Amino acid sequence: MTSAPEADLRAAARAIVPDLRARADEVEAARRLPEDLSTRLAAEGFYRMYAPVAYGGLETPPAIAMETVEILATGDGAPAWVTFIAITSTTALSILPEATCREIFARPETTMAGVFAPRGRAVVVDGGFRVEGQWPWGSGTQNADWILAGCQVVRDGEVETHANGAPRSRMMAVPRSDVEFVDTWYVSGLAGTGSTDFAIRDRFVPETHAAGLGIDTPLDRPLYRFPQFGLLAMGIAAVALGLGRAAIDELIEVAGGKVPDASRRPLAARASAQADVARAEATLRAARAFYYEAIEKAWQEALDGRISLESKRDIRLATTHATHAAAEAVDRMYHLAGGTSVYRRSPLQRIFRDVHVATQHMMVGPATLELTGRLLLGLETSEVGL
């Protein structure tokens, strides 16, 4: 049974979709979310879906959170993308010390964002770290109160490593005032996510504000038993699925009134159009079914105490498949609409560009298929990356 707060999240997402659609051009032109829109998303509770209940978060079951993101993406992909980045970032609160979490998450509307990839250096000093680096793909960071920056840890001049030789990394939680934004975000799609580079220049970060993924023990709660990479990848797929749904709905609306050149019949009356819409619908819904099936199975295991390797594998496979299946559905609708889809006034051209930026994310790239394929074939494979 769905609890009232969970139902309210999805209802709130549906209610805001018309506004997202109406402001999509504004958001894209700004190359970031306008402050009032980000504040509204935070006030609705979307940004705290994965934050611990102990600190004022919701700990929303992942399927509900992802459906909420998917709904937002039917209005505009950029706010949906920023939302999933924000909620994934708040899972750091399951690792950081309680006092730090209460400082960071002092109010429910607190916004977090950042990059987990360890592109910075954190040199160990007395009481903490001196942090230096620049991070690309900083989605939503310009709207965030706190920013996470992944760093390799350097102690006595040497990079710390795990037993397998891989660098040991930590996420540094810093206030936005400690971050410099570098204007790099000139892109084909998802422009409104504000995913520009950000830099930290020789800032001190207390040890209490450094979270070690795979090092520090998270809160023993079902949500935080999900692997971090899995949660991140799930958000990408949720946005893509929402874009796929928006593309099909837009084409159906256009098809009834569009009469192709050299034809007397509307697009909807053409057999080829009917078949393409049917194929897109089946492609999207089949991928969506596998996606939510994998998430729900893992959630049930998390409730029981531990997520199996098979479920971790299926989450990564389902998210990658859903992202690319959604792009396939969008492509069909974009091409079917003909010349209509190339005009800026058509939502299809923005959806087309947005979904093809989502497919470029490394979390849903070919390496994921190779990793999950090795597991399906029973080959010896590290769980790193799941």
pLDDT at 258: 65
Domain boundaries, the chain: 4-94, 112-211, 226-376
At 256, is the pLDDT very low, low, confident or very high (cuts 50, 70, 90)? confident
pLDDT at 278: 97
pLDDT at 286: 98
Residue type, 219: L
CB 294 within 8 Å of CB 315: yes
**Overall CATH class of domain 4-94:** mainly alpha
At 248, is the pLDDT very low, low, confident or very high (cuts 50, 70, 90)? very high
Residue 149's closest CA among 200, 201, 96?
A: 200
Run of H or E residues at 175:
strand 169-175
pLDDT at 49: 97
**Structure-block tokens of residue 329:** 């559905």
At 1, is the pLDDT very low, low, confident or very high (cuts 50, 70, 90)? very low
Per-residue model confidence as pLDDT tens digits over 85-126: 999 999 999 999 999 999 999 998 999 999 999 999 999 999
CB 307 within 8 Å of CB 298: yes
Which DSSP category does 216 fall into? Answer: S
pLDDT at 222: 97
d(CA 343, CA 94): 45
d(CA 120, CA 131): 7
Q: Mean pLDDT throughout 198-209?
A: 97
**Structure-block tokens of residue 95:** 């690792």
Query: Is residue 4 predicted with pLDDT exceeding 50?
Result: no
pLDDT at 115: 95
Q: Is 238 helix (H, G, I), strand (E, B) or coil?
A: helix
Topology match between the domains 4-94 and 112-211: no
Phi-psi region of 262 (alpha: psi -120 to 50; beta: other; left: phi over 0): left
At 260, is the pLDDT very low, low, confident or very high (cuts 50, 70, 90)? low
CATH superfamily label, 226-376: Butyryl-CoA Dehydrogenase, subunit A, domain 3 (1.20.140.10)
Q: What is the 3-state secondary structure of 117-165?
A: EEEEEEEEECCEEEEEEEECCCCCHHHCCEEEEEEEEEECCEECECCCC
Residue type, 366: P
Query: Is residue 335 predicted with pLDDT exceeding 50?
Result: yes
pLDDT at 102: 96
Overall fold of domain 112-211: Butyryl-CoA Dehydrogenase, subunit A; domain 2 (2.40.110)
At 326, is the pLDDT very low, low, confident or very high (cuts 50, 70, 90)? very high
pLDDT at 212: 85
pLDDT at 120: 96
